[in-house]
Structure 1
Amino acid sequence: MADRKADDGQPLWLMAVLGILVGVVAGFGAWIFRLLIGLVHNLLFLGEPQLYYDANLHTPAGPFGAAIILAPVIGSVVVTFLVKTFAPEAKGHGVPEVMDAIHYNDGRIRPQVAVVKSIASAVSIGSGGSVGREGPIIQIGAAFGSTLGAIFRLPPRQKIILICAGAGGGIAATFNAPLGGVLFAIELLLLSVNARSLLPVALGTMTATYIGRWLLSTHPSFDVPDLVIPDFHLVQGWGLVLFLPLGLIMGLVCWIFVRGIYWAEDRFDNLIRNDYLRHALGMLAVGVMIWLMLRFAGNYYIQGVGYAAIMDILQGALSDPLFLLLLFVLKFVATCLTLGSGGSGGVFSPSLFMGATVGAAFGMGCHELFPALAIAIPVFAIAGMAAAVGGTTGAVLTASVMVFEMTLDQRAILPIVVTVVIAYALRKYLSPDSIYTLKLRRRGHVVPEGLQAAVDDARAVRHAMSDRYRMARPDALAVPGREPVVVERDGTIVGVVPPLPDGSSRPVGDLPMARLVFVPPEAPLVATQREMHREGADYALVLKAPGQKRAADIVGILGPVEIAACTCRTARLL
């Protein structure tokens, strides 16, 4: 009885409370994670044991000179030790591991993953690795949600809801983007969207955002006052056409990025077997790149999350399109080296960087061709940022809303939508898998990309049941047929015998009977299938009064044939 209650799950009010608790942990986790990044970065780049680090400002040249090349190498040794010793799941960008736990591991994520991921990613980012902080905090929040679900002995479907609350809360607190956090959970993680799933996720995300704003800042991620326009300004109608080719360009960029990451990973794995040496060599190359940037361009630019360079673009401090394209190439190479050699961190931030550089360079080219163009360069950059994230990850709505929340530039809304959907469509055509799903497919695990209507979840048993069954008394001889046989004695149901391919001289009452459950016609179809799975039943008899088990009350039967037919009908609609 206790197992059945556990499978039925906890009430909605308790799930809401647990969602808020997960949001609290995700909010504080985002704050602590930033402090860890700041501590590592300040130690390795400036030689100062300080926690505060503003990634939107360029790091000044430190006292180490050319020895700064070794900072990423030092970080690589620590990251490799942590990942290899304590949690291999902490390697990479984190989100595929969360998706894998949802679809293939009943929502189980080991608790130590949160600790190891936070430290490893903080070291990877702080030492100069070209990765983002959103992937780690997503995995950290998801790991706590899974752990909390295990403590309360939640069934997998409710444990997954808490995982999504932690992931959405983590990304919302990291970027100060509550709507983006909710949409991320909906687009990429949640298996169904309804009141039971959306309420805990939304509450957790809002809680994490509030705590993040309290501890970090209420300002948008890219706080550029010139972008915040109090009145809505409509972009030139003909100017919107320019975002069509930008969308195509960004689609190619997304495809190159998705394939480039795993190409680099395969090359490193094939050429260098030793984990420490592999990651150290990759980060040595990154160290050389960031030192050369400081030596010849005046700033590190491509190290870490790269937000300072994005701020320069949005503020108009970088106006050379060739230099912007150089930054794009270097950031792409640095990210492939970091993740391909074994680093730990997310792909959102590199995507934002590459989208901003390509978008701004394209906008500058448009201004050269059309001097009267009244669309500002930052609008092209912001549209490119959203397109890079949406096309790379497959989270189109998340990218569109989140980038707007990060900049609050109302002029960019229409260009964002146009650019993102075209970039996503082209990337989907060139590469059916996103940067997340491709990693899982390489393991042989296939997960869906994109939302589907929960048609089955809305159906009742009466929509799927059949009247194709035969009635027989226990002493009746078995007759071959395609229909199951409902056995009744004196008006009471005895059991169900599966279809008989061959005749038998034995009475049906002596034949093996299938396990079954009894349900009313209005019982939810998904809940009935869940009960059948729990009880090991092959059939559900649909009765007017299930508790009486009277043969006269039978209105239908639900078995493997009916469930398969219902699934086929659903597939035709999706």
Structure 2
Amino acid sequence: MERLSGWRWERQKIRFRGAGRWFVLSTLVGILAGLGSIVFHLLIHLGHHYFLDYLTGYLPPYPAGSPEIFPRTGRPFNPYMLVLVPALGGLAAGLITSRFCPEAEGHGTDAAIRAYHHEEGWMRARVPIIKTIASFFTLGTGGSGGEEGPITQIGAGWGSFVAQKLKLSPRERRILLAAGMGAGIGSIFRAPLTGALFAAEILYRDTEFEADVLIPSAIASIVAYSVYCAVFGWGAVFAANDYRFESPLQLGPYALMAFVLSGAVAIFVKVFYGFHDFFKRLNIPTFLKPAIGGLGAGILGFFIPDVLNFSYGFIQKALYNQVGMGMLFAVGLGKILATALSIGSGGSGGVFGPSIVIGGSIGGGMGWFFHRFLPDIVTDPAPFVIVGMAGFFAGSSNVPVTSVVVVSEITGSYHLLVPSLLVCSLTFYLCRPWNLYREQVPNPVASPAHKGDFFSDILEDIRVRDIFSPEKTYAVIPEDMTLRQFVRFFGRTEQHYFPVVDREGKLTGIFSINDVRGFLLDHDLWDLIVMKDIARSDVITTHPLEDINTVLRKFTIRNIDQLPVVSEEDPRIFIGMISRRDVINFYNQRLEEIKRRTLTRSEW
């Protein structure tokens, strides 16, 4: 009893040691990601101050929870400089990424997802630094994008860096990379729960969570959030009234809005990747492409300045009902084009933030529409801004759970969960053909990160009776058959393994053609040797109820290709044979069935 208690105590100590290790690693990643968020946020505001405010006289409005860091210069607005500055920022970002780190271009989250699935969580140590600098030039000069995509890749880079320096395994490296992703989002958005859920959900196209990364991501997100907010203050990014859902009649307008949002998601994805693929094919130096995209965004900003940069201040005004329906729709559609130009051309910025802005703008426009025609049901358009943000993000990114949580955290409003759940569920299913993150895989089965994980699970679910056929005939050899008699018989069969039975038909041994080969040249022994002398008596057998995982291990004991199948009641009653090839073929068929089912579910 004392020995048993000691064993349990040792096991508990191992568990505690493992938990403490992951707590320390996740905390370290959270600190690095939080510090990275602080530097990145400061740089972006510095860029706004000098590149936008000082050179163009334009400074985008900020949300209530994330005010200006530097005082305004008061310089007069120069719309022509507003066209030029994003182009120069795109040129600088293009020069940096093409020269030092091509994987730092684009919206960043896809690169982190790709590293998780296909590169064993490995990212070059320079990625966080180059991504910070490139995003500073793209976003600091007014390029349309979000902080969240870059900080996702920056946090992922720090997670991978820690894992590499500590020489951790590929699985551990993947977990820390994902924890860094969550820490980046949790800090920059001041939404720690969102960060944890985002890192676990964004990896897959279906409604799947990566369970291994959830707790480390939560710890890293909390730490990064605390580090970041200790510098820039606490509270939600946006200020919003505590809106409440109080009438089931409102579900009708919310459901209709989900269909409109789904159409907008389709437009956004097609336009974004249309420009992305166009710029990829464009036969000019790579560093010039973000400059062209920045120039296009600047021209659009000449007419609608609110589409440049984050546009969070515009959403804040929409939450205060200070923007009309026409302007909301204009900015929503304009933001699609501006983001496609700025980021699709190779500029460095995120699409998470623009998704929130597009959804909030279109949702606000729909809110004003319903308020105008159904004022007794929709008494305030502002809640549609919040639900629109959630719905659009769920449809464009395949993260329905994270989407419901994120808008609650960034607005501090938790009483719109019912319409948010409805709209996010609808847009998630309606938008299955479109997705902003091309590197997502359908589910863990399709991920190289889990290659081999399901092998044993599938095999343990298969029994011998599922594969071998009792009706198939196998030759059994009597113990007293001479070698000469067997040689004559062997010429008429293609069988390679031969069970040996006694006079009662009970299994006593087995031999293969290889066991016979050594006697074939000595003809004088053919009439003296009986097959009982050649057969092995220590027969390795299986029975119909045994799982195939165990059977495969038995094949490897002597490196044999076939096993006798015997009755589970009496192991001496021979009923058939099962081969290694039969097992592998059946496994491949079962795996293809699983893949087809998951593909069908993914398409649905």
8 Å contact from structure 1 (residues 41, 128) kept in 2? yes
Residue 179 of structure 1: aligned partner: 193
- Note closer, same or farther for the CA distance 1:183–1:119 as it changes in structure 2 (3 Å cut): same
Quote how far apart the aligned CAs of 1:282 are.
Answer: 2.2
Separation (CA, whole Å) in 1 of partners of 2:90 and 2:407: 30
Separation (CA, whole Å) in 2 of partners of 1:290 and 1:175: 25
Q: Determine if the alignment matches structure 1 residue 207 to structure 2 residue 223.
A: yes
Q: Which amino acid aligns with 2:111?
A: E
Question: What is the SS of the residue equivalent to 1:189?
Answer: coil
Residue 406 of structure 2: aligned partner: 402
Question: What is the SS of the residue equivalent to 2:376?
Answer: coil
Q: Provide the aligned C-alpha RMSD in A.
A: 4.6
- Note closer, same or farther for the CA distance 1:196–1:338 as it changes in structure 2 (3 Å cut): closer
Q: Which amino acid aligns with 1:425?
A: Y
Quote how far apart the aligned CAs of 1:271 are.
Answer: 4.6
8 Å contact from structure 2 (residues 34, 183) kept in 1? yes
Q: Determine if the alignment matches structure 1 residue 448 to structure 2 residue 442.
A: yes
- Note closer, same or farther for the CA distance 1:538–1:304 as it changes in structure 2 (3 Å cut): farther
After superposition, the C-alpha distances for 1:424-463 in whole angstroms (9 at most, x for unaligned) are 22211xxx241112xx4xxxxx722699999949949644
Separation (CA, whole Å) in 2 of partners of 1:129 and 1:79: 11
- Note closer, same or farther for the CA distance 1:190–1:68 as it changes in structure 2 (3 Å cut): closer
Separation (CA, whole Å) in 2 of partners of 1:538 and 1:328: 66
Residue 214 of structure 2: aligned partner: 198
- Note closer, same or farther for the CA distance 1:374–1:281 as it changes in structure 2 (3 Å cut): closer
8 Å contact from structure 2 (residues 445, 454) kept in 1? no
Residue 290 of structure 1: aligned partner: 301
Separation (CA, whole Å) in 1 of partners of 2:370 and 2:135: 38
Q: Which amino acid aligns with 1:245?
A: L
After superposition, the C-alpha distances for 1:66-85 in whole angstroms (9 at most, x for unaligned) are 32332112211210111101
Moved more, 459-468 or 364-373: 459-468
- Note closer, same or farther for the CA distance 1:525–1:193 as it changes in structure 2 (3 Å cut): farther
Mark the runs of 5 or more structure 2 residues left unpaired by the alignment. 1-16, 469-473, 477-482, 500-511, 520-546, 564-577, 599-604
Question: What is the SS of the residue equivalent to 1:341?
Answer: coil
Question: What is the SS of the residue equivalent to 2:431?
Answer: helix
Q: Determine if the alignment matches structure 1 residue 217 to structure 2 residue 233.
A: yes
Quote how far apart the aligned CAs of 1:239 are.
Answer: 1.2
Separation (CA, whole Å) in 2 of partners of 1:169 and 1:136: 12
8 Å contact from structure 1 (residues 249, 423) kept in 2? no
After superposition, the C-alpha distances for 1:110-146 in whole angstroms (9 at most, x for unaligned) are 1111111111112211100000010111101111212
8 Å contact from structure 2 (residues 116, 178) kept in 1? no
Q: Determine if the alignment matches structure 1 residue 168 to structure 2 residue 182.
A: yes
8 Å contact from structure 2 (residues 121, 160) kept in 1? yes
Residue 591 of structure 2: aligned partner: 567
Residue 67 of structure 1: aligned partner: 81
Separation (CA, whole Å) in 2 of partners of 1:125 and 1:450: 34
Quote how far apart the aligned CAs of 1:414 are.
Answer: 1.5
Aligned match for 1:137, one of 151, 167, 173:
151
After superposition, the C-alpha distances for 1:269-301 in whole angstroms (9 at most, x for unaligned) are 4455233433222212322332444xxxxxx32
Residue 307 of structure 2: aligned partner: 302
Q: Which amino acid aligns with 1:386?
A: A
Separation (CA, whole Å) in 1 of partners of 2:422 and 2:392: 13
Q: Which amino acid aligns with 1:175?
A: F
Separation (CA, whole Å) in 2 of partners of 1:505 and 1:450: 45
8 Å contact from structure 1 (residues 188, 450) kept in 2? no
Q: Which amino acid aligns with 1:448?
A: P
Quote how far apart the aligned CAs of 1:152 are.
Answer: 2.5
Separation (CA, whole Å) in 2 of partners of 1:103 and 1:303: 33
Question: What is the SS of the residue equivalent to 2:202?
Answer: helix
8 Å contact from structure 2 (residues 204, 442) kept in 1? no
8 Å contact from structure 1 (residues 131, 305) kept in 2? yes
- Note closer, same or farther for the CA distance 1:564–1:353 as it changes in structure 2 (3 Å cut): same
Q: Percentage identity across aligned positions? A: 27
Quote how far apart the aligned CAs of 1:506 are.
Answer: 5.7
Separation (CA, whole Å) in 1 of partners of 2:36 and 2:548: 39
Separation (CA, whole Å) in 1 of partners of 2:131 and 2:436: 19
Quote how far apart the aligned CAs of 1:410 are.
Answer: 3.0
Residue 436 of structure 1: aligned partner: 437
Question: What is the SS of the residue equivalent to 2:416?
Answer: helix
Separation (CA, whole Å) in 2 of partners of 1:451 and 1:265: 29
- Note closer, same or farther for the CA distance 1:85–1:418 as it changes in structure 2 (3 Å cut): same
Question: What is the SS of the residue equivalent to 1:158?
Answer: helix
Separation (CA, whole Å) in 1 of partners of 2:287 and 2:223: 39
Larger radius of gyration: 2
Separation (CA, whole Å) in 1 of partners of 2:86 and 2:277: 21
Residue 241 of structure 1: aligned partner: 252
Separation (CA, whole Å) in 2 of partners of 1:264 and 1:538: 57
Q: Which amino acid aligns with 1:210?
A: S
Q: Which amino acid aligns with 1:341?
A: S
Q: Determine if the alignment matches structure 1 residue 369 to structure 2 residue 373.
A: yes
Question: What is the SS of the residue equivalent to 1:107?
Answer: coil
Residue 338 of structure 2: aligned partner: 334
Kindly report which structure 2 residues correspond to 1:153-164, keeping only aligned pairs within 5 A, or say none: 153-164=167-178
Separation (CA, whole Å) in 1 of partners of 2:210 and 2:393: 26
Separation (CA, whole Å) in 2 of partners of 1:484 and 1:190: 47
Question: What is the SS of the residue equivalent to 2:222?
Answer: helix
Quote how far apart the aligned CAs of 1:234 are.
Answer: 3.4
Question: What is the SS of the residue equivalent to 1:129?
Answer: coil
Residue 480 of structure 2: aligned partner: none
TM-score, normalising length from structure 1?
0.76
Kindly report which structure 2 residues correspond to 1:13-92, keeping only aligned pairs within 5 A, or say none: 13-47=20-54, 55-56=62-63, 62-63=75-76, 65=78, 66-92=80-106
Quote how far apart the aligned CAs of 1:266 are.
Answer: 2.8
Residue 500 of structure 1: aligned partner: none
8 Å contact from structure 1 (residues 73, 287) kept in 2? yes
8 Å contact from structure 1 (residues 187, 451) kept in 2? no
Quote how far apart the aligned CAs of 1:363 are.
Answer: 1.0
Separation (CA, whole Å) in 2 of partners of 1:538 and 1:419: 58
8 Å contact from structure 1 (residues 188, 395) kept in 2? yes
Q: Which amino acid aligns with 1:427?
A: C
Q: Which amino acid aligns with 2:215?
A: L
